[in-house]
A and B are shown apart, each in its own frame.
Chain A
Amino acid sequence: MSKLRELAYQIDPVLWVREVLGVEPTAWQQEFLRAPRGASILALTARQVGKTMAASWAIAHAVHPEGLSVVACPAQTQSAEAVRRVREILVRVGAELTVDNVYGLELKNGSRVKALPGSDDSIRGLTVDATPRPPTRHFIEPANVSMI
């Protein structure tokens, strides 16, 4: 991959999803992917419209060295589903995984993705903002029950 292309993909996750994964994100997914860092986004959508998929794209796009991405759902099995999708994307783009299990992934560059349950008690102690430069992504799907 050329340097220019790599740079373009880093700047725009939508472009990366479109060109590398071959999927055209919907309008709300594009808005979600291009959201500013640290933004809190509440997606009010129908069922099966690609909330987890969009979050997985965003996580896979943000696998910076030493970065940590967290998926927190009410049940850990739901978080694990999101991590499974991230894994599929990473494998597809040729990333090398050093840790690969149901609740977590770690890449060769030190980037991690963790699937956690959404309760406060169980996610305490995790330093998600320890590394200032690599953007830490923190996705919470509060209900995962879509609202129409």
Chain B
Amino acid sequence: MARKCSTCQHVKRAEIDRRLAAGEPGGQIAHDYELNPSSLHRHRSNCLGLSSSNAIMKEVSRGTAAVACLPTKDDLNTAYFGLRTQIDQIVSQAREEGSLQIALSGLNAVRHTLDSLSRLAGFDRQGTQVNVAVQTNVNLDLNQIAERVILKFDREPEIKARIAQALLEVDHEQAA
């Protein structure tokens, strides 16, 4: 009967797996969790089916590079405006020459290409970006408030007690 994988039995297996999947070097992970590097390597390849740390990092880099190669929002904006101008010109020309259908088909193909690029870059899902800044000008120090109340009613313990009780009741209501 084959031995069970020691990494699979580890109490922090999920954490180890996450770090392996993120492409962290096996040696470092093995050191952090006091595992045998060979055992961790077997776990990576046999149990998780992951490629080496280098390979994972290369794939991540390729993905980043591919995203960087996509057109920017400004590029797409410029392209769309250019396309609209062309459409206007070609439609006018095509009307004059009687070949409207062909011209529009060609432009439609260009528009589809731009739409695809836009989706790839994720601009179509961004929507309108709204930045909301909430400024709280209420900067009350609890100690100061308590101190003020205590000083004000220091010789009237009943009032202090009633204020405190009222505050507690408000707290209960808010919690409910």
A-side residues, CB < 8 A to B, are 2-12, 14-15, 19, 31, 34-37, 64, 133
7 contacts between A and B (CB under 8 A): A4-B168, A8-B164, A8-B167, A11-B160, A19-B168, A35-B157, A64-B143
A100 to chain B, nearest CB (A): 25
CA distance A46 to B163 in the complex (A): 32
Beta-carbon contact of A7 and B147 below 8 Å? no
B9 to chain A, nearest CB (A): 37
Please count how many residues in chain B sit with their CB below 8 Å of the partner chain's CB atoms: 21
The one of A4, A10, A15, A34 in contact with B170, judged by C-beta atoms closer than 8 angstroms, is A4
Interface: B97 (CB within 8 A): no
In the complex, chain B residues whose CB is within 8 Å of the CB of A5: 167-168, 171
Beta-carbon contact of A34 and B167 below 8 Å? no
Beta-carbon contact of B171 and A10 below 8 Å? no
Beta-carbon contact of A9 and B160 below 8 Å? no
CA distance A4 to B167 in the complex (A): 6
Beta-carbon contact of B160 and A8 below 8 Å? no
Given contacts A3-B142, A6-B142, contact A11 B163 (CB under 8 A): yes
| Binary contact readout B127-149 vs A (1 if CB under 8 angstroms, 0 otherwise) | 00000000000000011011101
Interface: B39 (CB within 8 A): no
Beta-carbon contact of A4 and B146 below 8 Å? no
Interface: B154 (CB within 8 A): yes
Beta-carbon contact of B171 and A8 below 8 Å? yes
Interface: B174 (CB within 8 A): yes
| Binary contact readout B66-82 vs A (1 if CB under 8 angstroms, 0 otherwise) | 00000000000000000
Beta-carbon contact of A10 and B146 below 8 Å? yes
CA distance A9 to B157 in the complex (A): 14
Interface: B175 (CB within 8 A): yes
The one of A7, A35, A36, A64 in contact with B167, judged by C-beta atoms closer than 8 angstroms, is A7
| Binary contact readout B44-67 vs A (1 if CB under 8 angstroms, 0 otherwise) | 000000000000000000000000
